Structure formats: C-alpha cells, structure tokens
Amino acid sequence: MNISKNIIVGAGLTGTTLAYKIATELDEKVLVIDKRPHIAGNCYDEFDSEGLYLKKYGPHIFHTNDKKVWDFLSQFTNWHPFFLKTEAFIDGNLVNIPFNFDSIEKCFPKTLATRLEEKLLEKYEYNSRISISQLLEQDDKDLKFLANYIYENVFKNYTEKQWGIKAEKVDKSVLTRVPILISRDKRYFQDRYQAIPQYGYTAMIEKMLDHPNIELILNTKFDKKTHKAERLIFTGCIDEFFDYKYGKLPYRSLAFKFQKFDKEFCKDTSIVNYPNEYDFTRITEFKHFLDLKSEKTIIATEYPQHYEPGKNEPYYPIANKENHDLLAKYQTEAKNIDGLIIAGRLGEYKYYNIDAAVARALELFDKEVLNEFFKEKNNFGYSCR
C-alpha cells in the first residue's frame, strides 16, 4: 500500500491554506481529498448560466483586522469592497442590525428615542460597540428597557429558531456577540478590511490549489484504511474520524430555498433578518455582494434545522459544557496519533469566521507542521536553519 507524504481531508479554507503552505514552503507533495463534488467547502460559490452570483451554502462576508490574513489571501484574488448592511423586520419596520441610533428612532417615539440616545452617549463613547449583556447590567431603567427590547425583539426568537432551544439555554457567549452601535454606522462589521473575492471564493481557492505539488481528488470519502499518510490533516468532524466512539457531537444545519425573479432587485440590502415572524431566519439576495447588473435576481430563504449525518451539512457547533466535555475525549485521542493534525471548524468543533479559519491554519502550519518538519530533518542530521 502506498503511503502519501501528506494527505489533507477537506478542500475548504483551512485545508487549502495548509496545502498551499506545505506545497510551497516545504516543497512537499500534498493530496487533498473532499467528499463533495467541489472545492471551497461552505464558501463555495458560482455564477449561473445568466451570470447571476449564487452561494449554495449561504452568505459569507470576508472581514478582518488581521493584515497577515488579508495579505495572504490577496495573493490569490483581487477584492470587491463590500460593507455588509443588514436589516431586520421588527414591529413592522425594517431596522438596521446591529441596533444603532437609526434603529432606535425607527422603533420608539421621538421623545423616548432622544432620551435613550442621550443616556447612551453619557455612558459610552460615540462610535463604540457594546453588547446587550453590558446594557442588561445597567441600573438605569431606560437603558435596561432598551436592552430588554433588543433581547426580546432581535435576539430571543431568532436565537431559538437558529439553535432549536430556548434562548436562556444558549451559551452566554452567544449573547455577548449581539452588539449595539453608539452611532449611525450602518455597517454590520467595523473591521479595517471588508470585501468579497472579485470572482468569488471558489475562484480564489482554485488558485490556492493550483500548484504542481498539490493533487486534488473530489467526490471521495476519506477512508482510514486506504488513505495512509506520514502527515494526515483532517478537517472533517472529529467525532466522525473516530467513528463516534464516545458519541456524536451535535451541530445545527441549514436548508435553503432558492428563487429566481424577473426583476432587478427583491430587497434593498443583501440580508434581511426575520427574528419574530415565519419559520425562516433570513433572506439573502446575492446580487448585492458583487454589485452585479442584471434584470434578474436570486434570493435564498434560510431555514435552520438539526444536523443529520448523510442528510445535510454541519454548520454550527453547539457550545455547552456537555459538548465540550465530549470534545475533550476526542481531542485526547487525537493527540496520541503520530502525524495526525485535526483542524478547522468541524475538526476543532469551533465556529470560525473566514479570517479566523485562515489565521488558525497559518498558526497550525507554523506550530505543528513546521516544528514536525524541522524535528524530522534534525533526526536525519539536517540543520533547521
């Protein structure tokens, strides 16, 4: 049986970044396999026969303050600047999300809105970003009222649909990520770099894989008996790798209903959330992302659901103590296998934004792969320099 030098399971951003670094910096052969018929994982995107932009697995907006990540990805793409502006349907109004001063003025009578804005400015710096958790801790009845209003109308029902459990049972770290902007800034993110790859994520990742040291095989499920390697980097579900030995780690998944319309636009912005109405959570109109000109448009309506292996895709790890205790058992098992690196959102059971996924892959290359490489060279009498 042939044993490969490097096998990477998964052609998403984590696996692709590691493949590129190994192929270029170590000049080693890398076999990348993926069970799907395409590269790019959940970032996969395409253009249909009429030139409309489509993302099969929902929206992905690149944003980062990490210049190292920005510079790394910029080797493989030009960028289309894009600042995400999200609205939510609340009390019959389309309201900016995150909540800002414009949101306050749409939701409340003028006198109350003015009072709330004045109190926020007394307490916090203009243009700062705070969480509902911080507001809920305030003694001021008006600020507490505002925090409760946002919790009930923006967070609670959306969260229960998204996670399939009562909001009070969701890990508290989720609540800390619900921000309020002390300004009229309409952007969902405030990072220095915000953009979409000019020709899409798939084209960017295709360039990352375009190297003579990298071999790509799609439509291939990883098999421990046949896919042997000196260094195995696995970016799939860690519990699946170990055949669910200690039990299954739960995920939330998503289903999408795609519709094409013979009109220029359906929505004024790219994403509209529906926290309180309907069974779906949001509608995305992809055309906004790359500022495409067309008399037609595509929208996707997003329905959260439980993850069922073999039936849908795992999206979101469910953060709680029980799941992290189970994860720790698998992580201990993985550490005892020489040459194995478990990586990525599914492997580490941690939801990474795009920039964080790339940053983590670069970190793993430096800490795990390079150290292992240099150690091996030393064992054969080579210098690390």
pLDDT greater than 80 at residue 68: yes
Q: Measured in whole angstroms, how far is the alpha carbon of residue 120 from the centre of its chain?
A: 31
pLDDT digits (tens, 9 = 90+) for 324-337: 999 999 999 999 99
Contact assessment for residue 10 and residue 44, using Cβ atoms and an 8 Å cutoff: no
Q: Give backbone dihedrals phi and psi of 86, rounded to 5 degrees, phi first.
A: -115, 140
Q: Where are the domains of the chain?
A: 4-48+61-80+194-249+317-379, 97-181
Is the previous residue joined to 275 through a cis bond, with omega within 30 degrees of 0?
A: no
**Residue 381: which pLDDT band, with cuts at 50, 70 and 90?**
very low
Contact assessment for residue 121 and residue 182, using Cβ atoms and an 8 Å cutoff: yes
pLDDT digits (tens, 9 = 90+) for 208-256: 999 999 999 999 999 999 999 999 999 999 999 999 999 999 999 999 9
Higher pLDDT, 138 or 277: 277
- Classify residue 362 as exposed, middle or buried by CB count within 10 Å of its CB (0-12, 13-18, 19+): middle
- Run of H or E including 340: strand 340-342
What is the per-residue DSSP string for 142-181? HHHHHHHHHIIIIIIHHHHHHHSS-GGGS-HHHHTT-EEE
pLDDT digits (tens, 9 = 90+) for 128-150: 999 888 888 889 999 999 999 99
Half-sphere exposure of 51 (CA within 13 A, CB side): 7
If you classify domain 4-48+61-80+194-249+317-379 with CATH, what class do you get? alpha beta
Q: Give backbone dihedrals phi and psi of 272, rounded to 5 degrees, phi first.
A: -120, 125
Query: Which residue's structure tokens are 């995920």?
Result: 251
Residue 90: strand, helix, or coil: strand
